[in-house]
Amino acid sequence: MAQRIIIKIGSQVLCTEDGQLNEAVLSGLVDQVSALVSGGWQVLLVSSGAVAAGSGLIEKTGSQINDPVTRRQVLAATGQVRLMEIYQSLFRPHAIPVAQVLTCKTDFQTRNHYLNMRSCIEALLGNGIIPIVNENDVVTVTELMFTDNDELAALLAAMVNANLLCLLSNVAAVYDRLPDSQQAEPIPVWDDQHHQIEEIVEHGTSVLGRGGMHSKLAIARKCARLGTEVVIANGAEADILEKIVAGDAVGTRFPAQPGTSPAKRWLASADSYARGYVVVNPGAAAALLDSSRLTSLLPVGIVKAKGKFKRGDVIQIRDMEGNTLGCGRARFDQKQVRSMLGQQGHKPVIHYDYLYTMD
Q: What pLDDT is recorded for position 136?
A: 82
- Note whether 86 and 218 are same-domain residues: yes
Within-domain flag for 112:
yes
Within-domain flag for 202: yes
- Give the global pTM: 0.83
Inside any domain, residue 224: yes
What are the residue ranges of helices labelled H in the chain?
A: 11-14, 23-38, 50-61, 68-91, 111-126, 149-159, 197-200, 213-225, 240-246, 262-270, 282-288, 334-340
Does residue 330 share a domain with residue 253?
Answer: no
245 plus 342 within the same structural domain:
no
91 and 57: one domain? yes
Contacts of 67 (CB under 8 A, 6+ apart): none
**Residue 269, in any domain of the structure:** no
Do 164 and 214 share a domain, yes or no? Answer: yes
Looking at the structure, do residues 282 and 227 belong to the same domain, yes or no?
no
Q: Are 253 and 48 in contact (CB under 8 A)?
A: no
Residue 268 lies in a domain: no
Residues 230 and 349 in one domain: no
pLDDT per residue rounded down to tens, the chain (359 residues): 679 999 999 888 888 777 778 889 999 999 999 999 999 999 999 998 888 777 766 666 656 777 877 888 888 888 889 899 999 999 999 999 999 999 887 787 777 888 899 999 999 999 999 999 998 877 765 555 676 789 899 999 989 999 999 999 888 888 876 666 677 788 899 887 776 666 666 544 443 344 467 778 888 988 998 889 999 999 999 999 999 999 999 999 999 987 678 888 888 877 777 889 999 999 999 999 998 888 999 999 999 999 999 998 899 999 999 999 999 999 999 999 999 999 999 999 999 999 999 86
Q: Around 337, how many Cα atoms within 13 Å sit in the side-chain half-sphere?
A: 30
Residue 141 forms part of a structural domain: yes
**Residue-number span of the structural domain to which 172 is assigned:** 4-263
> For residue 341, what pLDDT is reported?
96
CATH number of domain containing 218: 3.40.1160.10
Number of structural domains in the chain: 2
> 237, 263, 289: which is the final residue of a domain?
263
Same domain, residue pair 310 and 257: no
| Amino acid (1-letter code) at residue 324 | T
Q: Would residue 111 count as lying in a domain?
A: yes
**Whose CA is closest to 53, among 81, 18, 90?**
81
The residue from 263, 295, 318 where one domain ends is: 263
Same domain, 258 and 279: no
Q: Using H for helix, E for strand and C for coil, what is the string for 226-284?
A: CCCEEEEEECCCCCHHHHHHHCCCCCEEECCCCCCCHHHHHHHHHHHHCCEEEEECHHH
The pLDDT assigned to 217 comes to: 87
Residues 227 and 341 in one domain: no
Indicate whether 344 belongs to any domain: yes
CATH number at residue 311: 2.30.130.10
**Predicted local confidence at residue 202, as pLDDT:** 53
- Give the span between the Cα atoms of 217 and 222, in whole angstroms: 9
Domain boundary among 263, 296, 321: 263
Question: DSSP letters of 294-337?
Answer: ---B-GGGEEEEEE---TT-EEEEE-TTS-EEEEEE-SS-HHHH
pLDDT of residue 200: 64
Question: What does DSSP say about strands 164-169 and 4-9: parallel, antiparallel, or unpaired?
Answer: parallel
Same domain, 74 and 205: yes
CA 147/CA 211 separation, integer angstroms: 6
Question: Are 47 and 159 members of one domain?
Answer: yes
DSSP 120: H
